[in-house]
Amino acid sequence: MTRPTTDAPIPQGNYLAAKRHGDLVFTSGMTPRKAGVLQLEGPVKAQEPIESYKDAVILACSNALVAARNQLAGGEAVAAILSMTVFIAAEEGFAAHSKLADFASAYLAETLGPQGIGSRAAVGVATLPGNAPVEIQLVVAIG
């Protein structure tokens, strides 16, 4: 599996990468960016193998996890991923939304173990910011 960046995500507008409230962290939607630069653009193509998008999905998910972890105080850790929403900008005819989202679920399970799997929604949309193919948002419990 590709090892994503551990650099803090750079907000692309007037918002925070993540916001903590008590023992919960809510991340903003994260796209597949490194140092603020989108690594893959355009919609997910129906005829393209979904593996072509694996690195982009993992990078977006890693960015969300890094944003959440940046809200931790000393000695704290991610206790569980409570919820993940995967937005997919897909061309008409694409129907493998949940299979694409499985790349993010597998990354979280590999990184955090069983607590990395929470509830999930995979949502097809017409477009995403910056013409990104995928955007991922997490709700994380801190322990």
**Predicted confidence (pLDDT) at residue 106 exceeds the cutoff of 70:** yes
pLDDT band at 11 (very low <50, low <70, confident <90, very high): confident
> What SS3 class is residue 99?
helix
**Predicted confidence (pLDDT) at residue 7 exceeds the cutoff of 80:** no
Asked if 32 contacts 49 with a C-beta cutoff of 8 angstroms, the reply is: no
Element spanning 86, H or E: strand 78-89
Residue 49 CA to residue 99 CA, distance in Å, equals 11
Nearest to 27 by CA among 36, 39, 12, 15: 15
Residue 33 CA to residue 139 CA, distance in Å, equals 20
pLDDT band at 9 (very low <50, low <70, confident <90, very high): confident
pLDDT band at 10 (very low <50, low <70, confident <90, very high): confident
18-142: which CATH topology?
60s Ribosomal Protein L30; Chain: A; (3.30.1330)
Asked if 77 contacts 140 with a C-beta cutoff of 8 angstroms, the reply is: no
Q: Is the pTM of this model over 0.85?
A: yes
Nearest to 44 by CA among 3, 100, 106: 100
pLDDT band at 2 (very low <50, low <70, confident <90, very high): very low
- Beta partners for 124? 88
pLDDT band at 21 (very low <50, low <70, confident <90, very high): very high
Where are the chain's structural domains? Answer: 18-142
pLDDT computed for residue 12 by the predictor: 84
Residues 6+ apart with CB under 8 A from 81: 108, 112, 115, 116, 117, 118, 138, 139, 140, 141
pLDDT band at 6 (very low <50, low <70, confident <90, very high): low
